[in-house]
Homo-oligomer: A and B are copies of this chain.
Amino acid sequence: MTISIIGLGLIGGSLAISLRENGFAKKIIGVEANADNAAKAMHRRLADEILPLENAVNQSDLIIIATPVDALTKVAPQVLHLINDQQVVIDVGSTKSALLEAVKNHPKRNRFVATHPMAGTEYSGPEAAIPNLFDHKYTVICDPESSDADAVELVEKMYLSIPMKITHFEGATHDVHTAYVSHISHISSFALALTVLAKEHDEERIFELASSGFGSTVRLAKSSPDTWVPIFRQNRDNVLDVLDEHINQLSRFRSLLIKKDFETFYQLIEEANQIRKIIA
């Protein structure tokens, strides 16, 4: 099967590696608006060739749109205009409501499948693409009832081959849940990095003391604004809601410190420990 991947960054490039290695794709065509990224992607052999959008789509059984989410709402309708009734188009974006609205009334909506593989790192661009990024993680397929059964089947087969597990969400619900389990983590990390950078001027000494715990909570602060600002823009309302709750929780800890109420502080930590049920 020939697959076009539009955007050969962290997600698109890693999909290219996995789908080529396991033989699911016989040929991978890259579409890259950025000439520098196109050169990097070819240097790493992420694609067999880089072609203009129309040319790439015409030759492909499956088209994967892996751009930042602001570009998605423009590129997805554009790609759907170019395909026939056998081709399948998917996105791999972190937000879904705006995209699903953008393709809702498209005559080829049935050939589109909205997906979100829940995997990533704090790095971006073709140089960030890695093997095994998706291994045994979940991919979300949103509103599969709006897509042709054969299209959903092909896409599930592709994700199972990586190998990922599959779950289904309604688009708006997806955006609420990812605000909790992904988007707020990034804001928390950005804010933590700014806190430390604002207060500590002696960078060499921070480096010495920064333990693995600090590295773990602040790692996501290295994430690209080009990826994340469009996500926060599209999922603003849900993110605001979770961010308010997060500030409230921090304020509770603050208030307990001020009052020196370490008994309640202890109980709150015990409650927080319940997260063990959710993450291994």
- Identify the A interface with B (CB < 8 A): 118-122, 137-138, 140, 165, 167, 177-178, 180-182, 184-200, 203, 205-225, 228-229, 232-233, 236, 239-240, 242-247, 249-254, 257-258, 260, 262, 265-266, 268-280
Contact = CB atoms under 8 A, between A and B. Distances in A.
Given A243-B253, A272-B193, A178 B216 contact: no
A219 B180 CA distance: 15
A273 B214 contact: no
Contact of A199 (B180, B199, B253): B180
A199 to B, nearest CB: 6
Contacts of A184: 192, 195-196
A211 B120 contact: yes
Most B Cβ at <10 Å: residue of A167, A191, A247: A191
Copies of this protein in the complex: 2
Given A209-B177, A266-B229, A269-B190, A277 B222 contact: no
Contact of A249 (B138, B194, B279): B194
A183 to B, nearest CB: 10
Nearest to A192: B188
5 contacts: A165-B208, A189-B272, A225-B265, A240-B254, A243-B250
A184 B198 CA distance: 14
Contact of A190 (B122, B211, B223, B272): B272
B258 A240 contact: yes
A254 B247 contact: yes
Contacts of A268: 190, 194
A271 B216 contact: no
Nearest to A258: B240
Contact of A274 (B193, B245, B252, B273): B193
B243 A187 contact: no
A206 B181 contact: yes
Contacts of A266: 225, 229
B181 A214 contact: yes
B250 A196 contact: no
A97 to B, nearest CB: 16
B229 A194 contact: no
A210 B250 contact: no
A200 B214 contact: no
A122 to B, nearest CB: 8
A211 B246 contact: no
